[in-house]
Structure 1
Amino acid sequence: MLATALFHLDSVAVEEITVDQEAVAVTARAVSREAPSPGCGGLSTCIHGRYRRRLADMAMAGRKVVIDLVVRRFLCGTPGCGRRTFVEQVEGLTERFVRRTPILRRTLERLALALAGRPAARLATHLAIPTSANSLLRLLGKLPDRRLGTAPRVLGVDDFAFKKGHVYGTILMDVETGDRVDVLPDRTADMLTAWLRDHPGVEIVCRDRASAYAEAVRTACPDATQVADRFHLWRNLCEAVDKCIGQHRTCLAEPTGDANACKPVVSAGTAADDVPESMEGLRAIKRRGRHAAVHGLYGKGVPIEVIAKTLGLDRKTVRRYAHATTPDDASRGTGSRRYGHIHAYSPYLYRRWNEGCTDAARLHAEIVELGYGGSKRTVRRHLQEIRAGGKPAPDKPKELTVRKATWLMTAHPDKIEESNALKLKQLLARCPELDGVPDCVRAFARMMTERRGTELDAWLTRAEDTGLKPLCSLAHGLRQDFDAVTAGLTLEWSSGKVEGNVNRVKRINRGGYGRAGFDLLRRQILLAD
């Protein structure tokens, strides 16, 4: 059993094994009769002396292992060799100036690549192979860097955030094999252009609709085929549908009395920026002011928590405004998935409220038993409007929101229940302006899934004929990138593997609390399993 566990000691003579509560000590000595000189490569049999080396090895049964190895120093008799003496190295067991066995070093390298410094050091201590965070980082620094001479035939390009909203990098992948090729420290066109010129051979480039990447590919390799990713195209379409419904959100509520006409928030032919401030609602004016105030501080590097205290806002509100490009984008970012989850328990909460139970803590405890996983604060916020109004809770809470209406228009028809299909039909009856949106969505879905890229021009004309500004804007943007979009809707290539690795990069970055430098993060991205 010991011979199997200590197979890497076959080339030495094991003299003694001592086991105590904390460690296993192995005493051994080298037995070879000759050794090659590291200077000239000649073999020497003349022994100059002996000394002991202590090597850390892989743990056994939860105990760290230390090898006390006696090695010999040889004399080199080759004329002209710069070395007079040298120490023998046992293959698979010792290395120059290293106090670990190769198998232990490789294990620590894997831990460091997966967890970086401190987390890997904590896990190594738990595995009885203790080391420091700095030692692990030094091991990573000694790993050979991955450098390619030529680029892959099908290259995937996408950006990722070192710090969301501020600093971005670029990941490059071989779409055919799924291998990570390189990582660039920014997402500018100049950086990618220089990389493509240094690594010729690209024939197809899969990318999102970022103009910087498109410009870089056109400059460095104009003969390459650019392929716009289908996922990003579908997301762009869903965002346009969301904006269309947001402009007609007054149609979402069921009509009461003679309120049968659709009153869009912003007409299809009028830009939001052209609306006079005097005609805007108080909420829109407040939203613009908050957006300007938050970005004024966030752009100077002020932390979100400090901005929240300065402006008297909640941290989540400040974060939403800080990550929104325009005030309208901030209005569409209301509510997280956890907050939206509470709407499933609204009927129960409203019924208990009308029964006289208005304690948010008690109501939270009751719906937790029903499976709710949110916080008391979310329940209290959900009931705040009813508490302030002083009226009984509605018997049936409002169900149709902008998000749900967007889902009804973009979901596969076979996945929509009959009740939801009826809601969509009623919405289109109340708002004839949106009547052409579902047809555009389904036509685009068929074109995308069946690879009918040749029908793109006809679809763009159809989208422009709806008269809805978000769809017209989307069509205008797709026309500017017409060839890449057509290729994305025709060819088999996509950025799916790249997007998966972007999620992996996010996990790696979070594991280091966002404090890993570019060199460390690059090695983790390229070399980790």
Structure 2
Amino acid sequence: MVVDEVRTDGGRIALTARTVTREAACPDCGAVSSRVHGGYRRRLADLAAAGQEVAIDLLVRRFLCPATECPRRTFVEQVDGLTERFARRTPFLRRSLEKIALALAGRPGARLAAHLSIPTSANSLLRLVRRLPDKHVGAAPRVLGIDDFALKKGHVYGTIILDMETGERVDVLPDRTAETLTAWLRAHPGAEIVCRDRSSAYAEAVRTACPDAIQVADRFHLWKNLCEAVEKCVATHRSCLAEPTEDAPADATAGQEAAAVQVEVSSRPEGMRVIRRLERHAAVHALYDKGVPIQAISETLGLDRKTVRRYAHAATPEDASLGTGSRRYGQIHAYSPYLQRRWNEGCTDAARLYAEIVELGFTGSKRTVRRHLQEIRASGKPAPDKPKTLAVRTATWLSTSHPDHLDESSTLKLKKLLSRSPELDAVAACVRSFAAMMTERRGSDLENWLTSAEDTGMKPLQSLARGLRQDSDAVTAGLTLEWSSRKVEGNVNRAKRIKRDEYGRAGFDLLCLQILLAD
């Protein structure tokens, strides 16, 4: 190729060039021809130079194919590294735009490309991604990682499959059902170890398609399940969270608070919501106790998977309602001491008190403050001084944190809490033994731990032990082997970022390509 002219035109560099080859090979039959049929000009966009767009006006020639049996009569010469058939961009520019599209998707990528003086549209970037070749998956890797991610949270989920040894993304499935994963595993045999979460659908698929594969339950999810059970145990013993006052013995104070809680529970009205909770709890446990998977129960009863899981892991109907309260209403309790002090000082105007705590950072509504002061106003007495009480989540955090991560004050709070409640002391002992078993990879001690958890008499721990027994092989492998799902979780976070970057344009085909091909 010979460059005849270089000029600048309105912030653009224009190159006029022509080819000087005397012969070219036919792209179909490969025959070399020197017979020129004609020529025409091609206009190509190239990478920017000195912050300016570059356009190449290239004169190419068309040759006659000498092979009589070839179906092609004429063909156009191509310049290696510069031209491609039907392309209006050079290969360098095309590959650069592909990298931008894979990293930033449509509109963000178009903004970056315009800043780099290679303007293009968001739709053009998405078309470049869709033209990329799919990954060919042969046999499955020896160690697989499987996890789900939300395409539409609460409604539609997909499955990402990873090679745990190399960290390479293998494939993306359009749902998280056992049938889809079973079909994929049968079409791609060879998996020897499968890392997964506690999903019953994935466990069933691996057992069906790869009965000889070792299933490994992720340690993070095991610890998360334990923390959730501990939180339920703390919630059922919330009467022990209040510190005893100085003028009353600890036993008397605890007894009075327990009696107050019992009166509150017994006086609670049996409305339709309570009746529905009882019916759902009974229906879910009628199937779950027989070993029916959560997905199957969800489809049978017409409930969401998360709702079925909450009822299945709740020992009593009351446990199923824990943690479902309003977070905004719970925010008012942080300002309760201030409101009580101002009330006792004579300020009983809810609107004025609301304005004062808004200046302190309260983001709730005026109605929430009025409802909070309603009981004090109805009693006609000064606001009582509430004893210092640990929040349920704070007590759970103290019970499940590593002792080395607690300061002196937190350690003292935990010690006082466990001294007030022998039941929570037993729960904390189970947490410590499970943490030692998990960090030291002593999966052989799982059976002993399950027995000790059941002996505590705490229904949330007993429910957790029952669930771990149903998946004992995978749990034992997770507590023994080095494999875990940490690489899969990192790629799930990446998939969430890619999905958000698409601004609603991420159809499954485009999302799948970006997940698999992104650097």
* Same fold by TM-score greater than 0.5: yes
Q: 1:308-323, aligned counterparts within 5 Å?
A: none
SS at match of 2:67: coil
- Equivalent residue in structure 1 for 2:97, among 108, 119, 144: 108
Residue 424 of structure 2 is aligned with which of 406, 428, 434? 434
Q: Give the aligned partner of residue 297 of structure 1.
A: none
The question of whether the paired residues in 1 share the 8 Å contact of 2:235 and 2:322 is answered with no
Cα deviations across residues 296-354 of structure 1 (Å, max 9, x unaligned)? xxxxxxxxxxxxxxxxxxxxxxxxx99995685664155779x97995x9989998999
Map 1:24-35 onto structure 2 (within 5 A). Answer: 24-35=13-24
Is 1:500 paired with 2:487? no
CA contact (8 A) 2:332 2:369 kept: no
1:29-71 residue CA offsets vs partner (Å, 9 max, x unmatched): 1222221111211222222212111111122333222111111
Equivalent residue runs for 1:229-308 within 5 Å = 229-255=218-244, 257=248, 258-261=252-255, 263=258, 279=266, 281=268
- Over residues 364-415 of structure 1, what are the superposed CA-to-partner deviations in whole Å (9 max), with x where a residue is unaligned? 56x6xxxxxxx76259799666665469899899551010000000000111
For 2:79 and 2:410, the matched residues in 1 are separated by 73
Amino acid at match of 2:91: P
The amino acid that maps onto 1:140 is V
- Please report how far the alpha carbon of residue 85 of structure 1 lies from its aligned counterpart in structure 2 after TM superposition: 1.2
Equivalent residue letter for 2:507: G
**Contact map agreement 1:49 1:73 (CA 8 A) in 2:** yes
SS at match of 1:494: coil
> Aligned with 1:192: secondary structure?
helix
Structure 1 window deviating more from structure 2 (445-454 vs 392-401): it is 392-401
Is 2:213 aligned against 1:224?
A: yes
For residues 478-517 of structure 1, the aligned pairs below 5 Å read 478-517=468-507
Amino acid at match of 1:411: S
Q: Is the 8 A contact 2:243 2:388 kept in 1?
A: no
Q: Does 1:332 align with 2:332?
A: no
Moved more, 245-254 or 487-496: 245-254
In structure 2, distance between residues paired with 1:469 and 1:96: 69
Pair 1:42 & 2:31 matched: yes
State yes or no: 1:135 paired with 2:121. Answer: no
For 2:5, the aligned partner's letter is: E
Task: Specify the alignment match of 2:109 in structure 1.
Answer: 120
Partner in structure 1 of residue 459 of structure 2 = 469
Larger deviation: 236-245 or 430-439?
430-439
Q: Which moved more, 1:470-479 or 1:25-34?
A: 25-34
TM, length-normalised to structure 1: 0.79
1:367-516 equivalence runs, <5 A: 377-378=363-364, 389=376, 398=388, 400-516=390-506
Q: Helix, strand or coil: the match of 1:213?
A: helix
Matches of 2:86 and 2:389, distance apart in 1 = 69
CA distance in 2 between partners of 1:19 and 1:240 (Å): 71
Q: 1:69 to 1:361 in 2, by over 3 A?
A: farther
Separation of aligned partners in 2, 1:379 and 1:395: 24
SS of equivalent to 2:136: coil
* 3-state SS, counterpart of residue 260 of structure 1: helix
Per the normalisation by structure 2, the TM-score is 0.81
Structure-2 separation of matches of 1:62 and 1:353: 67
1:16 & 1:354 partners in 2: Cα distance?
89
2:456 partner letter: T
The residue type equivalent to 2:513 in the other structure is R
Aligned to 1:152: 141
AA matched with 1:194:
A
- Is the CA contact (8 Å cut-off) linking 1:386 and 1:392 kept in structure 2? no
In 2: Cα distance, 1:15 partner to 1:27 partner: 6
Structure 1 residues 278 and 242, CA gap change in structure 2 (3 angstroms): closer
Contact 1:59–1:65 (8 Å) recurs in 2:
yes
Q: In structure 1, give the amino acid aligned to 2:432.
A: R
Greater mean deviation of Cα atoms: 183-192 or 71-80: 71-80
Identity %: 64
Query: Are residues 266 and 521 of structure 1, via their aligned partners in 2, closer, same or farther at CA, if it must alter by over 3 Å?
Result: farther
Whether 1:23 and 2:18 are equivalent positions in the alignment is no
One-letter amino acid of the counterpart of residue 458, structure 1? N
Task: Assess if the C-alpha contact under 8 Å between 2:101 and 2:125 holds in 1.
Answer: yes
Change beyond 3 A, Cα 1:455–1:71 = same
Aligned pair in 2 of structure 1 residues 459, 323: CA closer, same or farther (>3 Å)?
closer
Determine helix, strand or coil for the equivalent of 1:377. coil
Q: Is the 8 A contact 1:21 1:63 kept in 2?
A: no
1:36–1:151 Cα change, 3 Å: same
**Distance (whole Å) between structure 2 residues aligned to residue 142 and residue 428 of structure 1:** 62
Query: Would the alpha carbon gap of residues 329 and 143 (structure 1) be closer, same or farther in structure 2, given more than 3 Å must change?
Result: farther
Change (3 A) 1:439 1:379: farther
- How far did residue 417 of structure 1 move? 1.8
**Long gaps (5+) in structure 2:** 279-305, 312-317
